[in-house]
Amino acid sequence: MAQPWSFVLVVLIALLSARVNSAADPKPAEKTPPELGRVPFLRDYPAAVEQAKKEKKPLFVLFDEVPG
C-alpha cells in the first residue's frame, strides 16, 4: 500500500502543473469569440458598471471558466 503522503504529493503536483499550464498562455481580450445569442454581453467590468448606472439597470455578472 502506498504511503498517505504520496497521494497528497501526486495531487499537489497535478494541481500545480495545471495552474502553470493555464497561466502560461493567457488569451487577449480582443481574441474572444463573438456572442452567439441575442443579448450583447460586455466583457469589461468597469464599462458594464458604468453602463448599468447610466441606464439605471441591475448588473448581471457571470463568472465562468471555459476549459481549453
Q: Measure the CA–CA gap between 10 and 14, rounded to whole angstroms.
A: 6
- Residue 35 has a pLDDT of 74
pTM, two decimals, is 0.43
Share of the chain above pLDDT 90, in %: 22
CA angle, corner 66, sides to 64 and 68, nearest 5? 160
Stronger pLDDT, 20 or 59, i.e. the higher one = 59
Mean pLDDT score of the chain, rounded to an integer? 73
- 49 in Cβ contact with 56 (< 8 Å): no
How much is the CA Rg of the chain, to the nearest whole Å?
Answer: 20
pLDDT of residue 51 exceeding 90: yes
